[in-house]
């Protein structure tokens, strides 16, 4: 399959769905990671043009960790709106990947760039298969299934499906570690360790999913996009806990 994940900012996918993308890649699927904005407003002590350059380099290094194809769209951070120009740009990004599965932000996310990126993907998907809508890439030749990924910190998000990312957790953290500019600024300004956020949310979703670590998703239900099969990856060696009836401690399998 071809898999496309679309995030608003250069570290959004690493935070919310990179474990799943890593599993897709490990299982032989072609993974594309698209970022709509350039993240140029994210640090108070780096000028926007320089920060955009830094964050693009960090994003490309992160994609290399899992072997994803990066798609850098370059819209200004904090100013994203669902314009026709942006919709057509997202349409072209979707066509570049020609995906079977698309993952993006949901409508309950806290950041307007996140919500608008998700809206743009939703609006662009029907256009991506219409040959009369002209962009740089040809119309896609398949119907994609759309999933919303978790919100930051898991706030106000109810997953309908889970992916056991226990075996991909270290790659997810390695990829997030490439975003040094964001790790620094979150720690400096908010006293937040993004790696700890990722571990905590993945552990919590793991409790819900019956695994050590998991990522949660919600399938977007729409006409002609229903499936009778699972398309989210299944871990080859699930990280289950086995409980004994005696006094010994639970052990991880």
Give the helix/strand (H/E) hosting 214: strand 214-219
User: How much is the pTM?
Assistant: 0.93
Per-residue pLDDT of the chain (253 residues; tens, 9 = 90+): 999 999 999 999 999 999 999 999 999 999 999 999 999 999 999 999 999 999 999 999 999 999 999 999 999 999 999 999 999 999 999 999 999 999 999 999 999 999 999 999 999 999 999 999 999 999 999 989 999 999 999 999 999 999 999 999 999 999 999 999 999 999 998 899 999 999 999 999 999 999 999 999 999 998 877 778 899 999 765 555 554 555 545 455 4
Give the number of C-alpha atoms closer than 13 A to the C-alpha of residue 85, restricted to the C-beta side. Answer: 5
Number of helices followed by number of strands (H, E) in the chain: 8, 9
- Nearest partner of 62 among 176, 153, 233, judged by Cα: 176
Q: What is the pLDDT of residues 8-32, one digit of tens each?
A: 999 999 999 999 999 999 999 999 9
Q: What is the pLDDT of residues 156-190, one digit of tens each?
A: 999 999 999 999 999 999 999 999 999 999 999 88
Query: Which domains are delineated in the chain?
Result: 2-252 (3.40.50.10320)
Start-to-end CA span in the chain (Å): 29
């Amino acid at each position: 399959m071809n898999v496309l994940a679309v995030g608003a900012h250069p570290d959004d996918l690493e935070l919310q769905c990179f474990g799943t993308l890593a599993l897709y890649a490990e299982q032989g699927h072609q993974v594309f990671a698209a970022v709509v904005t350039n993240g140029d407003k994210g640090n108070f002590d780096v000028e926007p043009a320089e920060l955009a350059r830094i964050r693009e380099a960090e994003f490309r290094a992160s994609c290399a960790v899992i072997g994803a194809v990066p798609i850098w769209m370059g819209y200004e951070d904090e100013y994203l709106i669902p314009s026709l120009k942006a919709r057509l740009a997202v349409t072209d990004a979707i066509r570049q990947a020609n995906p079977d599965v698309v993952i993006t932000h949901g409508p309950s996310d806290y950041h307007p760039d996140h919500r608008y990126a998700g809206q743009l993907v939703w609006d662009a998907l029907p256009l991506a298969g219409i040959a009369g809508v002209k962009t740089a890439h040809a119309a896609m030749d398949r119907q994609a299934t759309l999933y919303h990924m978790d919100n930051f910190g898991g706030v106000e998000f109810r997953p309908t499906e889970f992916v056991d990312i226990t075996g991909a957790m270290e790659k997810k953290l390695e990829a997030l570690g490439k975003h040094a500019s964001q790790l620094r600024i979150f720690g400096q300004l908010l006293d937040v360790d993004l790696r700890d956020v990722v571990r905590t949310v993945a552990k919590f979703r793991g409790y819900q999913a019956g695994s050590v670590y998991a990522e949660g998703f919600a399938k977007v239900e729409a006409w002609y996009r229903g499936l009778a099969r699972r398309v989210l990856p299944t871990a080859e060696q699930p990280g289950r806990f086995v409980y004994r009836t005696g006094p010994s401690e639970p052990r991880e399998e």
